[in-house]
Every structure is written in structure tokens, then in C-alpha cells.
Amino acid sequence: MSYITGVGLTSFGKHEGSSSLDLMSKAASLALDDARLNRDDIDGILCGYSTVSPHIMLATVFAEHFGIRPSYAHAVQVGGATGLAMTMLAHTLVDAGVARNVLVVAGENRLTGQSRDASIQALAQVGHPDYEVPLGPTIPAYYGLVASRYMHEYGVTQEDLAEYAVLMRRHALAHPGAQFHEPITVADVMASKPVALPLKLLDCCPVSDGGAAFVVSRDPTTEARVRIRGCAQAHTHQHVTAAPALSELGAEIAIAKAKAAAGVSISDVRYAAVYDSFTITLAMLLEDLGLAGRGEAAARVRAGYFSRDGQIPLNTHGGLLSYGHCGVGGAMAHLVETHLQMTGRAGDRQVRDASLALLHGDGGVLSSHVSMFLERAR
């Protein structure tokens, strides 16, 4: 058993003059304060990777920078699924008695500390070095291919995809830390610059500076008790050229195992935090996870099903698409927002009931998946 005892999140956008370690430290300090713990209480550290600071020992570099001497340190790399993978690892370590309080942290100054071309080149290496990378595709290009196939198979339109961008922007308007605060419409998404057809600029998450952190503990440290109830992973492929059929991707495998581990069903879920690097990512994952039927998620978005006052509020901070995306910390913001919702501290964004939450992370091009259920314990 383990609890998420504290969370910390910086604003996303431009942080001129802040390094990745600075942003990680700021988020970590917020998380420790939230958990009412001191640095000496932390005996485990899990650190996400950084493309801006690709040090081979980033976890211990951060530990030194932050002034802690953990008995366990580990750096993790599974793309966008890293945040939840680290959470699952922290849960396992705490449950096994290896550590009592594990700090999970990530952050990057990807917007101000790395050129656009360098960022594109670094992320493109997710492709196969012989069969994909030499052809020049970028991450948006890979997802554009996936989107085209998905639209063909399930009758999804570009306007359908635009609905997710509009929803995430609407949610971001209520969060002061979000990178974007200008409302958008479906027409705005459709009129935005083509990036990798059928994906337009507003179908894609931005590049951001930011940091996120949380503490996973063996015992509650405050009156806010959020427990990790069950989690699971699935890794079906690495490269697009080796991917299985769209109906056989890892999200369905991971959620099935997580439901079994947690002893819950999708109908029990009251809040959802789902990875949304692109609108097609969110569309596919919502349907793979069972939150909507195939090709039907957009209709649910239009009907308000995933709005803040809907049946299953989704990414109420604005997600990667509008809160921003600073690498590993981008997806970790989903968990921070979930914790705030579950503990009644989301302010104007507060939903009616977040007693049981589903979180899902996606790494690579729908390659690595982590599903997780959190519950508000009494």
C-alpha cells in the first residue's frame, strides 16, 4: 500500500534563466511542503529524463543539487509514460519496504534552453534508426500517420479531433499556471497551420519550460489521503513499422490489468487524467480505455461528458495541449491536478466528485502504456 502525500507543480511556459535542475527543485520543494516532510525524510528518488540535460546519472545529479542523500536512486525513461511508470515504481518500492518516502520529480527548460531544431531532432530518435529516422519523420509525422489510419477505420473527422483541443483550452482558462489562456473554437483549430496532416498546429501540444514532483509514501503524512489502488503497464512495440493493429495497442492491455489489480471497473471512475500529446492521442486513448466506444469519444466531448461538470471530468488543468508539455513533467502535471481534485483543493476547477480517478500515460508512438487507479481513502 502507498499514498501520494504531496504534490508540486510550476507554471508552464517560459522560465527564462531557469535550468532543468532549477525547475525540478522548485517543484520538489513544493511537493515536500505539501507533504509536510523535510529533505531528510526522503530516502528514495526517482527522476525523469531530460533532453536538455541528458546526464547519464540525472537522479544523483539532482539529489546532490537538491541536498538529499537517498538510499535508493533511479532514473527512468519510457517517453510520455515515464511519470506514471515512476509512480508505479515508487509504489512498488514503498510497498516492498525498500523506502518510506520516495520523491518523484521531473522538469525541463525545453522551451528556453533548447532550440526548436534540437528538440525536434532529439524527439525524432524515437523512430527506428535504419527504417524510419533516415526518412526524416518527426513525432507529429508519426502521429499524423496514426491519425490518418484511425480516421479511416472509425470514421473520425478532423473536426472531431479539434473538439479535444477546444476542451483542453477551456479547462486551461481556469488554471493560472497554464501556458495558454486564450479560448479557441473548432474553427480556430481547423484554420491553424498544418503540421503533419491531418494534424494542425492546435492539434499538437506546445513545447514548454516547467517542473512537476510528488511524494509517494508508505504512510499518510497529512489528512489528505490519496492511495494508489492499482496499476499496470503494457509495451507492445517501439517503432511504428512494428506496431500491432490499432485494436491491439497497449492501452487496452494495461487498463485490463490495472482494473484487475485495483478491483474496479470503468463505471466506478469519477475523474480521468489521460495523456494528450496530440488530439489523436487523446481520442484513441479515451476509446481504448473504455471511456467511450470506438469513434464515439468526440460526440461525448461535444455533449459535455468530459467537461468539468460532466459525468467524468477530464484533464481539468488543460492537459498537455493547453497547460503545456515540458517533457516528463508534462504528464506528471496530470497527476498533480488529480491529487488536487481528490483532496478538494482545485479552487475554481473543483469537480463534484473525484473519489476514484483513472490515470493513463503513453510513451513513444502509443508504444508504452501505464494505467493507474487512485482512490481517496478514509
The residues, any chain, with a CB within 8 Å of residue 210's CB and separated by 6 or more, are 9, 10, 11, 12, 13, 15, 23, 107, 108, 324, 326, 329, 330, 333
| pLDDT for res 31 | 98
Instruction: Kindly state the percentage of the chain with pLDDT values over 90.
Output: 94
pLDDT in tens, 262-308: 999 999 999 999 999 999 999 999 999 999 999 999 999 999 999 99
Domain boundaries, the chain: 3-114+208-217
Answer yes or no: are the C-beta atoms of 44 and 17 closer than 8 Å. Answer: no
| pLDDT for res 131 | 94
Q: Please give the Cα distance from 99 to 71 (Å, whole number).
A: 8
Residue-by-residue pLDDT tens, the chain, 378 positions: 899 999 999 999 999 999 999 999 999 999 999 999 999 999 999 999 999 988 999 999 999 999 999 999 999 999 999 999 999 999 999 999 999 999 999 999 999 999 888 888 888 888 999 999 999 999 999 999 999 999 999 999 999 999 999 999 999 999 999 999 999 999 999 999 999 999 999 999 999 999 999 999 999 999 999 999 999 999 999 999 999 998 899 999 999 999 999 999 999 999 999 999 999 999 999 999 999 999 999 999 999 999 999 999 999 999 999 999 999 999 999 999 999 999 999 999 999 999 999 999 999 999 999 999 999 987
CATH fold of 3-114+208-217 reads Peroxisomal Thiolase; Chain A, domain 1 (3.40.47)
Task: Please compute, for residue 120, the number of CA atoms within 13 A of its CA located in the half-sphere on the CB side.
Answer: 10
At residue 353, φ and ψ (nearest 5 deg) are -150, 120
